[in-house]
Structure 1
Amino acid sequence: MRAVVGLRRWRHNPLRRKTDLVEAWVALGALLLMLLAVPAIGWISGALTDDAFRRTIHAQHEDRHRTQAMMIRPAKAPTRVASDPEAPTQRDSGKPVIAKWTAPDGSRHTRLVHSAPQTLRAGDTFPVWTDGGGHLAKRPTDLATARTHAVLAGLGVAAGVAGLVEAVRRLVVWRLHQVRYARLDLAWAQAGPDWGRTGAGS
C-alpha cells in the first residue's frame, strides 16, 4: 500500500513509468474496497443470514411444542437416539429413559428419550420438545445462537472478500513486475552493443 502514499508524487515524477501509476491506482482501489466495500458486504451477508435464521426459528416455534414428559423407568440399552431438546448438545451427561407424554393433539406417546436429566427417578417429569404429532424434536434454536451464527457468517464473508481483493491486487502487481522486467530486458538489449563506447548514440 506504499504506492498509495506516493500516488501524487508518481503523477508528476518525470521518471515514473506507466506501470508505476497503474500499480498506485490499483493499490488505492484495493484500499477503498477494503475500507468501504468489504465491511458493507460483510454487514449485508450477516443481515441476510440473521433474517434467514429468524424465519427458521419462527417456523420451528410454530411446529415444535414444549411439553412435560414423565419418566417410567431407566432404559438399559437404547436402540434409537432421541436427544433431549433441553440439553445443549447430544454429547451431554444425560441418561436414556423410557418416558411418556401427551402431544398437543391429545395423543399419548411412550418412547425412549436418550438424554434425560441424571437425577430423574420413576414418576419425575422433565421437559421435552415435540412436533404437532407428539414425536420428539430438537429444541428450537434460540435467538442468541442465531445472532452469533449470523455475525460469524458476516465476518467470514468479509474476510473472504478481503482476501479476494488482496489476491487480485497481488496478481496485478505481479503482472506489472513481469511487464517491467520485459521492458527492461528489451531496453538493455537495445543499449547493450553500444554500452561504454564514447559518443555512442550521438
Structure 2
Amino acid sequence: MAFRGPRVWLWRWRRNPLRRRADVVEGWLVLGVGLLTVLAGVVAGLLTDRSVAQGLARERADRRPAVARVVAEVPQGPAGRRHMSHRAWGWVEARWRVADGSVRTGRVRAAAGSGAGTRVTVWTDSRGHLADSPVTPGQAAFRADLVGALTGLSAALVPFAGGSLLRARLERRRMTAWDTEWARLGPRWGRTV
C-alpha cells in the first residue's frame, strides 16, 4: 500500500516547482464544472418546480364540480369480490348541466347497483367537458417538488458527465506525456556519469 501524505487543499493553485500546466487546467476545470453542475441543477429544478406548480394551480382554478344523474342502472359487481372495505364501481352513461345551461352526457364511474337518476359528482373543465378531479394544494406542492428535484438532478448530470469526460481525456494526455518522458529518460536512469 502506497503512503499518501496529508491532503492539501487547493494544491493545484499553490506555488510549487513540480506543479504542471495540466494540474492548473484540471483545477480550474474541476472548479468550473462543479459550479456549473450546481447552478444548472438548481436553476432547472426551481424553474420546473414553479412551472408545474403554476400549471396545477391553473388546473385547479379551471375545474368545477357538477352534479350528474346516472342514465341507466349500474350493473352489480361480481359477488366474490364484495367486502366491507371494497366497493364495486362501474362505468355508466350520465347527464349533467354546465354553466351555460346546456346538457352534456358522458361515461362516468358510479357505485355498482346505482339506479337510474342516482346523483354522481363529476368534474368538468371550463368548456363543460369531463375532466379528472384536481389535485389538492398539498398534492400539487409534492408533485411540483418531486418533478423539480428530478429535473434538477437530470440537468446537473449533463455538466457533471461532460466534466468527467474532459478530466478523463486530460488524464490520458498526462499519462501519454509521462510515458514519453519515461521512454526518453528510463534507459539513462541507472547510469552514473
Counterpart Cα distance in 2 of 1:26 and 1:94: 60
Distance (whole Å) between structure 2 residues aligned to residue 113 and residue 158 of structure 1: 39
Paired residue secondary structure (2:131): coil
Q: Distance in 1 between matches of 2:33 and 2:115?
A: 64
Q: Distance in 2 between matches of 1:134 and 1:6?
A: 65
**Structure 1 residues without counterparts, runs of 5 or longer:** 77-91
Q: 1:120 Cα shift?
A: 3.0
1:42 aligned onto 2:37:
no
State whether structure 2 residue 151 is matched by structure 1 residue 157.
yes
Q: Which amino acid aligns with 1:18?
A: R
Unaligned runs of 5+ in 2: 1-6, 76-86
Q: For the structure 1 residues 68 and 49, does the alpha-carbon distance in structure 2 shift closer, same or farther, using more than 3 Å as the test?
A: closer
CA distance in 2, matches of 1:131, 1:193: 83
Are the counterparts in 1 of residues 74 and 115 from structure 2 also a CA contact under 8 Å? Answer: no
Partner of 1:84: none
User: Does the CA-based 8 Å contact 2:40-2:156 persist in structure 1?
Assistant: no
Equivalent position amino acid for 1:41 in 2 = A
Q: Equivalent residue for 2:83?
A: none
CA distance in 1, matches of 2:155, 2:142: 20
| C-alpha distance after superposition, 1:17-59 (max 9, x if no partner) | 222222222222333344555324322331233234334444x
Deviations 1:55-88 (A, max 9, x none): 4444x33xxx422122343256xxxxxxxxxxxx
- 2:72 is the alignment partner of 1:69: no
Tell me how far apart the structure 2 counterparts of residues 28 and 121 of structure 1 sit (CA, whole Å).
69
Is the CA contact (8 Å cut-off) linking 2:74 and 2:113 kept in structure 1?
no
Scaled by the length of structure 2, the TM-score of the pair is 0.71
1:195 equivalent in structure 2? 189
- The residue identity in structure 1 corresponding to 2:16 is N
Question: What's 2:130 paired with?
Answer: 136
1:104 aligns with 2:71: no
**Aligned partners of 2:33, 2:126: CA distance in 1, in Å?**
53
- Which residue in 1 is equivalent to 2:28? 25
User: CA separation in 1, counterparts of 2:149 and 2:164?
Assistant: 22
- The one of 89, 100, 103 equivalent to 1:94 is 89
* Equivalent position amino acid for 2:160 in 1: E
**Displacement of 1:98:** 3.7
Q: Name the TM-score, length of structure 1 as normaliser.
A: 0.68
Letter of the aligned partner of 1:99 in structure 2? A
Q: Give how far 1:131 is off.
A: 5.0
Higher relative contact order (CA 8 A, sep 6+): 2
- State the partner residue of 1:53: 56
Matching residue of 1:89: none
Whole-Å separation in 1 of the counterparts to 2:180 and 2:121: 80
SS of the equivalent of 1:188 reads helix
In the alignment, which of 120, 128, 147 is matched to residue 126 of structure 1? 120
Q: Quick one: structure 1 residues 127 and 13, their matched pair in 2 at CA, closer, same or farther if it must change by over 3 Å?
A: same
